[in-house]
């Protein structure tokens, strides 16, 4: 029983490690807690908050909605912006989809678990079955602590001062950076990463929320570049 659980949480032979699982758990626990505290102190009730934690199952759409509405936008504009910032999840779901099961029902369930880090960690596995196993395992390493942290955030409410004094707002980008780090050490990876970064920062002040990240996704098209010609090719030409 315990062995089965262990094999399921850390698929044997896969690159995914306990250290990465714990880091994801820590990061998503703190993100869940701090963002929930943020919303609750702004007046969001416990029922909508539970909806954000379990049903929306993502933190950015709620934040985008609040950002738009607080700056004078309509609630329609707020919802549209929430959808836009989460459009990346559709792309992540599509990226892992070839390695999921044929059954539509199981795919529909797994779609709810499509996040940034678990898809990236799944795709890193060389073995096709491990891609799916690690996608699911890493997904639960994130989602369970995020659910627990979110509920805790509702309970703590406004009792904790500003969670950002603890530097917790740097945790999310830090985890993401560490996850893509190995890819940034490859020629194509570094180029794609830098082009995406510059695109996003260039657009952030002039486009609505969500557009910068979506536009940056186009940097993945650089993977179509032909490989560097080898020395012998050039000698032959």
Interactions with another protein, residue window 42-71 (CB under 8 A): 42-45, 47-49, 51-52, 55-58, 61-62, 65-67, 71
Q: Does position 32 bind another protein by CB under 8 A?
A: no
Q: How far apart are CA 44 and CA 193, in angstroms?
A: 36
C-beta of 233: minimal distance to another protein in Å?
Answer: 20
Q: Interacting stretch for another protein, rule CB under 8 A, among 137-145, 150-158, 194-202, 228-236? A: 194-202
Among 10, 14, 27, 138, binds another protein (CB under 8 A): 27
Task: Print the binding letters for residues 98-137 with another protein: x by CB under 8 A, - otherwise.
Answer: x-x---x--xx-xxx-x-xx-xx--x--------------
The helix-helix angle for 60-70 and 18-41 (nearest 10°) equals 30
Interactions with another protein, residue window 218-237 (CB under 8 A): 218-224
Q: Does position 217 bind another protein by CB under 8 A?
A: yes
Q: Phi and psi (nearest 5°) for 29?
A: -65, -50
Q: Does position 22 bind another protein by CB under 8 A?
A: yes
Among 19, 126, 235, 236, binds another protein (CB under 8 A): 19
Q: Does position 36 bind another protein by CB under 8 A?
A: no
C-beta of 32: minimal distance to another protein in Å?
Answer: 15
C-beta of 154: minimal distance to another protein in Å?
Answer: 12
Q: How far apart are CA 24 and CA 103, in angstroms?
A: 28
65 or 146: CB nearest another protein: 65
Size of site (CB under 8 A) for another protein: 103
How many other C-beta atoms are found inside a 10 Å radius of the C-beta of residue 219? 18
Q: Does position 154 bind another protein by CB under 8 A?
A: no
Among 86, 127, 148, 152, binds another protein (CB under 8 A): 86
């Amino acid at each position: 029983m315990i062995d089965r659980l262990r094999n399921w949480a850390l698929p044997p032979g896969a690159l995914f490690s306990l250290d990465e699982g714990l880091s994801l758990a820590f990061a998503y626990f703190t993100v869940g807690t701090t963002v929930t505290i943020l919303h609750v102190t702004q007046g969001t009730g416990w029922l909508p908050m539970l909806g954000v934690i379990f049903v929306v199952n993502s933190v950015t759409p709620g934040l985008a909605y609040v950002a738009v509405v607080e700056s004078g936008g309509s609630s329609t504009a707020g919802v549209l912006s929430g959808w836009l910032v989460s459009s990346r999840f559709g792309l992540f779901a599509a990226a892992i989809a070839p390695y999921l099961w044929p059954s539509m029902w199981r795919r529909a369930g797994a779609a709810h678990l499509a996040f940034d880090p678990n898809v990236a960690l799944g795709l890193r596995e060389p073995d096709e079955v491990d891609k799916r196993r690690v996608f699911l395992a890493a997904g639960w390493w994130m989602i369970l602590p995020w659910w627990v942290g979110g509920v805790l955030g509702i309970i703590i409410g406004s009792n904790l001062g500003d969670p950002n004094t603890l530097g917790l707002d740097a945790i999310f980008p830090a985890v993401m950076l560490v996850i893509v780090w190995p890819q940034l050490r490859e020629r194509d990876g570094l180029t794609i990463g830098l082009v995406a970064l510059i695109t996003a920062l260039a657009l952030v002040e002039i486009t609505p929320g969500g557009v910068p990240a979506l536009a940056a996704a186009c940097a993945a098209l650089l993977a179509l570049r032909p490989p560097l010609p080898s020395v012998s090719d050039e000698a032959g030409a």
